[in-house]
Amino acid sequence: MNKINNKIILFFSSFFYAGYFPIASGTFVSFLVSVLVLIFPPNTNEINYIIFSICIFIFGIFGSHFSTIILQDDDPSIVVIDEVCGMLVSLLFIEISFATVFAAFFIFRFFDIVKPFPIRNVEKLKYGFGIMVDDLIAGVFTNILLQIFF
């Protein structure tokens, strides 16, 4: 791959370079997505929200995979597109409010950090798929809890 392609891949998979935040980049990006969802609530058209989330997931698989090759690291900390996807899934079909987004942020971070079963097992999958799927499942678990409580 050439340098321009590498930069584009890292730009996307690091969520516009937010993944380079020096401390807890995954938490930082999850917070950033939470703020963006509050500013630009997706409730107006859920089908577009679903399509957008699926696109992030699919592109995230490839971006994460190629980022691991570029950076020669199995799970580079700058790759945070998985957190973006997980947060989006956390809030799917949830009425957006400060309370729901606040809860989603903390519940999602809990699942992403603690990685209860089956998240820890899925994380062992190789390449970009493994990077993306564990956060997708954390997002689904978060969404289920939010559906119950809200």
The two tokens of residue 149 are 């409580």
pLDDT by residue, tens only, the chain of 150 residues? 688 899 999 999 999 999 999 999 999 999 999 999 999 887 667 888 899 999 999 999 999 999 999 999 988 999 999 999 999 999 999 999 999 999 999 999 999 999 998 888 887 787 899 999 999 999 999 999 999 998
In this predicted structure, what is the pLDDT of residue 45?
A: 78
Residue extents of the structural domains in the chain: 44-149
pTM of the entire structure?
0.94
